[in-house]
Amino acid sequence: MKHIYQLSYYYILSFVLTVESTTFQIKNVDCPFSNNENCEIIDISSYGSYIYNRTPDRLNYVFWPYTLGKYAITCSSCKWAVFRDKFDKLKDLPGGTFDTIPMPLLLGDKILKTLKFIDGTKQDSAFVLRWIFQEQIPISIAQDSVLSLEYKLLNELYLSANSTASKCLYGYLAGRFSFLSRDTSTCQKLFNNVLSCAECEDEIKIVCAEQKVALLTGLDFSSSKYRIHLGRLLYDTLEIDNIQSAYLYLNALVEDYNQLQTIGVENKILLIAQKYGNGLIAEPIYKTLSNLTSRTGRLDSEIKKVRKFARRQRIERFSNSPALIGGVVGLSLIVLVLCLTLDK
């Protein structure tokens, strides 16, 4: 189940990742409860890296793709509504299942009622409630009640979790809810439990750390000071070493080195630059290293290497860009037409 916890990569890396839109494949199927009705089923056929560039309140396959408006499907003349991945469960229900439900129903009510008929789990209901609140889906109860129901389910899931992975996931989600409701005491307690768990997935720890830094500092997710605090927590305290945490920690190290040039900080800067400066984030690493106000010979030499690799990456991206290829093809056609015209 590790794929469930894939982190939605922090948006500061969005400019080094290729952005593509989600593409859908639409097909019509017969409604399980109406002989004359066709329903549009929408499948996700591909998606780009943009899903990893969201704000830290989203986890891939926890909130996405459920937060896509198109992912919920319903029948215009019936009383059911489900997320796409639950549609096949409708086929197991006997005809007339929804006949006793009074009309009219709002979309939020329909999808919650349908979950009960298909034996949806508490997790399913919690995510539906999150979707209803986040996307402002029409429902007959107040939005505050939607949030209260979601928190009640998350708390029950957290207390009854029988595995470390589940405990950490529901602990984070319940903490996230407390964060939004300004219950700082409960939030810190839940986040600290997650961050101190040696068996917890790094992906959960990272999003948890993002929320904790925002809670403790009051800083906006987009501020440079926030990124510096987060980098220290992820890389130095939690010892999570990946592209995201290394880049964030490098910002903190550069700030430290500008204030007090020590060999220890210099060595840490060189370690990150040598490990990640010839890969995906070469350009942002070079830009960060450029903020150093003082450089030793070792730092200057490493910065030159990273700059060289970053320039090579830019050239490769430009030479492979559809705009350039299209421009070359278009120019070639113009030249061809001119040559044929002159020949005449």
Q: Identify the pLDDT of residue 17.
A: 32
**Contact 106/139 with Cβ under 8 angstroms?**
yes
DSSP, res 92: G
Q: Identify the pLDDT of residue 171.
A: 87
Q: Identify the pLDDT of residue 56.
A: 40
Rounded CA-CA distance 164/302 in Å is 41
**Contact 195/212 with Cβ under 8 angstroms?**
yes
Q: Identify the pLDDT of residue 259.
A: 93
Residue in 213, 193, 312 with CA at minimum distance from that of residue 10: 213
Q: Identify the pLDDT of residue 10.
A: 30
The model's pTM is 0.62
Q: Identify the pLDDT of residue 254.
A: 95
Residue in 225, 294, 304, 238 with CA at minimum distance from that of residue 262: 294
The contacts of residue 27 (CB under 8 Å, 6+ apart) are 40, 41, 43
Q: Identify the pLDDT of residue 62.
A: 54
Q: Which two tokens stand for residue 171?
A: 């602990």
Q: Identify the pLDDT of residue 326.
A: 57
pLDDT along the chain (344 residues), means of 10: 31 33 71 73 61 44 57 76 82 77 81 87 85 85 87 88 86 81 84 90 85 85 87 92 90 94 94 91 92 94 93 78 56 62 57
CA distances from 177 to 125, 186, 222, 302 (A): 15, 10, 21, 44
Question: Token pair 């109860």 is at which residue?
Answer: 141
Please name the helix (run of DSSP H) or strand (run of DSSP E) that holds residue 179, with its range, or none: helix 164-180
Pairing assessment for the beta strands 23-30 and 38-46 based on DSSP bridges: antiparallel
